[in-house]
Structure 1
């Protein structure tokens, strides 16, 4: 299971980097595209804080300058991968207690949280691509299967 999660995290970084690299080529990216990409990255940060019970200093809709996005994605990938590698297989199945942005308490397994993050990011990356499509010659492919084939 741990290998699968690391694979999922590696895919996430690859897909996010492809989208960030595309955003960097656009002279004036749409504000909504920037906000959504910032949301993907800040939501990952917020969830990592929930997983590790660390203090969180960002919101899930944080404005992140495009010049910081690549570094942010790389740093968060290293943090989450390091955390996952430090856990036993049984710890991956244990429940994590957290409070959502509305103050409601929940418990979810780390596997479920990381799966959610992957699906959440894929959904929003699709939105960003739709916003960028009129401004770019070719939309970046960020599908999991494309990553697996490469």
Structure 2
């Protein structure tokens, strides 16, 4: 389980890094790309905080300047790898409040998978926003990563 989750987060890191590089090379980043990528970073941070049982620093839709994306992204990745490495029971449930104050609980393995899946979903939206603005997006399919 640990090895597979580490591989998924490595893939997630790779894809997010590609988005950061592509957006950094643009003279003008489409607003929706900035909004959605900031959301990816925030959600990852929030889920890490929930799993660690600590307060989060970012709101779900806080905006980050492009210059800070890489630092937040790296810290998210480092924290997720630390969580994966230090977890002995991936079926352990984490009780948390969502952004609306409702209480839920999920297993750590499901939360970790959700972080990657959520990021993939919004990266697809970012790729469409890039394409709509005339920028061909990088291929980020898992199979491309594995080649």
Compute the TM-score of the two structures, normalised by the length of structure 2: 0.95
- 1:21 is the counterpart of 2:13: no
List alignment gaps of at least 5 residues for structure 2.
none
Cα offset for 1:114?
1.1
Deviation, 1:148, is 1.3
108, 115, 118: which is aligned to 2:116?
118
Aligned pairs, number? 146
Match of 1:62 in 2: 62
4+ residue stretches of structure 1 with deviation over 6 A?
none
Q: Structure 1: any 5+ residue segments left out of the alignment?
A: none
Instruction: Calculate the TM-score normalised by the size of structure 1.
Output: 0.93
RMSD: 1.0
Distance in structure 2 (CA, Å) of the matches to 1:41 and 1:58: 9
- The CA distance in 2 between the partners of 1:56 and 1:78, in whole Å, is 15
Shift of 1:135: 3.4
Following superposition of structure 1 onto structure 2, how do residues 7-46 of structure 1 map, counting pairs within 5 Å?
7-46=7-46
3-state DSSP class of the match of 1:96?
strand
Higher relative contact order (Cα pairs below 8 Å, separated by 6+ residues): 1
Q: Secondary structure at the match of 1:60?
A: coil
Give 1:57 shift.
Answer: 2.0
C-alpha separation between the residues in 1 aligned to 2:70 and 2:51?
Answer: 22
In structure 2, the residue matched to 1:83 is 83
Residue 143 (structure 2) aligns with? 145
Q: After TM superposition, give the deviation of residue 8 of structure 1 in Å.
A: 0.8
What is the Cα deviation at residue 103 of structure 1? 0.9
Pick aligned residue for 1:109 from 102, 107, 110 = 107
Distance 1:83 1:124, change over 3 A: same
Deviation, structure 1 residue 110: 0.9
